Amino acid sequence: MGDKSARDRIQRRRENDVDPETFLETVGAIQAADGTEQLGFTPAFESLVRDRLETIRETGVDAADVARLFGVERAAVDVPSRPYTAYEIHDTVRNWPSDAALKFDVAVDTALRETTDRWSEVTPRQRYRIAQSVRSFQGACFFCGGQLDVSDTSVESCCGSRGVLTIRCDDCARRFLEFTADRTDDVEATAGGN
């Protein structure tokens, strides 16, 4: 891609990036829970996400769903041979901590598209990040109803070990978020109902 293309992408981001919290509140997806500052889904949006998730659990996620989330043509999406849930979009591999996290993201993406036309105007990169962060707004696991927990684990790689915090369901062990330990304050400030 040439300089003009990069310049155009940066300009588009500047014009279409949104404040995630304000955007989600404005479209009726989230609200402060029970008079606190802690955010959670509105009852109507939670119901819509649960309905979309039920359909996705029956039909599965395919490359077309991922292409729509990232705002690319279906031909730009491949399923790489990886031992974890991942899709390759152009030359970038995007991964999820579990198949459940991917299904949840697609359900949120679908629900937001049905809720507002403005969702498709948000840059694909930011849509992905918003969908990712919204996973922490589950008051209980959308798959089994179990309690979500933030836990600290150590992950080994070729270069050493590092602390990783995980939001996962205590009952079904599905993982929804994984992030480095230095981001703890961000998650505790945004996680809903935990």
Tokens of 161: 């070990």
Residues 114-142: b if buried by 16+ CB within 10 A, e if exposed: ebeeebeebbbeebbebbbbbbbbbbebb
Q: Is residue 179 part of a domain?
A: no
Q: Is residue 182 part of a domain?
A: no
Q: Is residue 105 part of a domain?
A: yes
Q: Is residue 176 part of a domain?
A: no
Q: What is the pLDDT of residues 78-124, one digit of tens each?
A: 998 888 899 999 989 999 999 999 999 999 999 999 999 999 989 88
Q: Is residue 173 part of a domain?
A: no
Residue 155 CA to residue 9 CA, distance in Å, equals 35
- Number of domains the chain contains: 1
Residue 106 CA to residue 131 CA, distance in Å, equals 8
Lowest mean pLDDT among 26-30, 41-45, 118-122, 182-186: 182-186
Give the per-residue pLDDT at 15. Answer: 65
Q: Is residue 127 part of a domain?
A: yes
Q: Which residue has the tokens 């029956």?
A: 58
Q: What is the pLDDT of residues 118-128, one digit of tens each?
A: 999 898 889 99
Q: Is residue 167 part of a domain?
A: no
Name the β-bridge partners of 168.
149, 175
The boundaries of the domain holding residue 52 are 3-140
Residue 178 CA to residue 114 CA, distance in Å, equals 28
